[in-house]
Structure 1
Amino acid sequence: MDILSEIVSNKRKEVAASKELYPVKLLENSMYYQSKPVSLKKYLHRDDKSGIIAEIKRKSPSKGQINTHVSVERTSIGYMQAGASGLSVLTDKEYFGGSSDDLKVARAFNFCPILRKDFMIDEYQVIEAKSIGADVILLIAASLEKSEIEKLGGLAQSLGMEVLLEVHNQEELERSITDKVDLIGVNNRNLKTFETDVKTSFDLAELIPSEFTKVSESGISDPNTIKQLKQYGYEGFLIGETFMKNGRPEKAAKEFIKQLI
């Protein structure tokens, strides 16, 4: 079993347990459930922002511990003050050390688009994302059929949220495109080897229809790479590890974004 299959298998058990503890009716009573989500697409197009979606990630299967005791409050505020266009918050606990509470903290201190970064396989998780204050959900093509992408994406859009579809190669892109997603992210990380190569984003750029906002994910550690990606039509750049491996991720983000000007 590869790591993605293992994660999804574990996620199914996790979701089943959450349904028992926190029924949908309870989630719908959240203070965030009736609030209007913030558009990531609009923030990525803003001239006063960098296009960077800055991530809060405590650990990962490929790197192990990265920044276990990060302050979500300080880091999220610092990211936005540095000029980030949005936040990405890992909410998977088992493999990434995150939690719904991390996203709630980020939401409490920031008025900006927040992506819930998790392995979405069930409509329950979409409702849960709305209830904790997320504006955008991630759907991973490698773990979903097109019908599932349409079902989960359609529900998210009906709740006012946007949908970021993540692909790793041309096959995933071509079989997964649907109007039930708003942004298409190219993950430069090979899920089998965990190696990253930004060439993946360059190769897939012209295959992404123009109506979708293009996002490049993973393996971006040099501001010059972003300048090159912009020439290929990318407007969003999801960066986690490059910032998170620093003791003060928000300071690393500030220095990085300064070099984009």
Structure 2
Amino acid sequence: RARAAVSLPVLRKDFTVSDLDVCDARLMGADAVLLIVAALDDHELAHLHSLALRLGLDVLVEVHDADELNRAVELGATMIGVNQRDLVTFEVDRERAAALRPLMRGGTVSVAESGVGGPADAAGLRAAGYDAILVGESVVTASDPEAAVRALVDG
């Protein structure tokens, strides 16, 4: 349904852990899949990354710390997302993305994920060099989601 509703690229934001998950994303019309470094060993990460690319999908490789970022860089990821939310405690560290951005290679599409509460957060991430933000909660819980998105984009 998402594919039919928008002309923008669609990311399957899920725990992608198998070939079937990647193939399902393609069949459902997604343009990209999310690979979470913390959920995959190096072999699984490389295999799923390669499969997704062969199927014509873009890959957003999600990291949470410098070690995971190094794994993503070694993989050759061209789009890396820094999730500011801890997967275990669900606490948000709004400084994480800014701290990790300088460790990315030039030419990498950088995405800041989670913990974007409003326009000031979005502006700070733009200033830190991020190309995009992945936002969920602050838009979904807004009384006017369209206005919330507009405020994030317009700053």
Do these two structures clear the TM 0.5 threshold for a shared fold by scoring above it? yes
Give the distance between the partners of 1:207 and 1:252, measured in 2 at CA.
30
Tell whether 2:101 aligns with 1:205. Answer: yes
Tell whether 2:17 aligns with 1:121. Answer: yes
Contact map agreement 1:145 1:176 (CA 8 A) in 2: no
TM-score, normalised to structure 2's length? Answer: 0.92
Task: Quote how far apart the aligned CAs of 1:184 are.
Answer: 0.3
Give the distance between the partners of 1:205 and 1:254, measured in 2 at CA.
25
Give the distance between the partners of 2:91 and 2:23, measured in 1 at CA.
33
Quote the residue 1:236 is aligned against.
132
- Taking a change above 3 Å as real, the CA distance of residues 201 and 144 of structure 1, as seen in their structure-2 partners, is same
Quote the residue 2:46 is aligned against.
150
Runs (4+) of structure 1 exceeding 6 A deviation are: none
Contact map agreement 2:122 2:152 (CA 8 A) in 1: no
- Taking a change above 3 Å as real, the CA distance of residues 232 and 257 of structure 1, as seen in their structure-2 partners, is closer
The residue identity in structure 2 corresponding to 1:125 is: D
The residue identity in structure 2 corresponding to 1:240 is: G
Task: Quote how far apart the aligned CAs of 1:111 are.
Answer: 1.3
The residue identity in structure 1 corresponding to 2:100 is: L
Quote the residue 1:89 is aligned against.
none
Q: Gapped runs of 5+ residues in structure 1?
A: 1-104
Quote the residue 1:106 is aligned against.
2
Give the distance between the partners of 2:149 and 2:107, measured in 1 at CA.
29
Tell whether 2:130 aligns with 1:257. Answer: no
Give the distance between the partners of 1:223 and 1:248, measured in 2 at CA.
15
Give the distance between the partners of 1:191 and 1:159, measured in 2 at CA.
28
Give the distance between the partners of 2:135 and 2:33, measured in 1 at CA.
16
SS of the counterpart of 2:126?
helix
- Taking a change above 3 Å as real, the CA distance of residues 256 and 176 of structure 1, as seen in their structure-2 partners, is closer
Q: 1:193 aligns with which of 85, 89, 93?
A: 89
TM-score, normalised to structure 1's length? Answer: 0.56
Quote the residue 1:167 is aligned against.
63
- Taking a change above 3 Å as real, the CA distance of residues 225 and 245 of structure 1, as seen in their structure-2 partners, is same
Give the distance between the partners of 2:78 and 2:58, measured in 1 at CA.
6
Q: Gapped runs of 5+ residues in structure 2?
A: none
Looking at CA atoms only, which structure, 1 or 2, has the larger radius of gyration?
A: 1
Kindly report the root-mean-square deviation, in angstroms, between the aligned alpha carbons of the 2 structures. Answer: 1.4
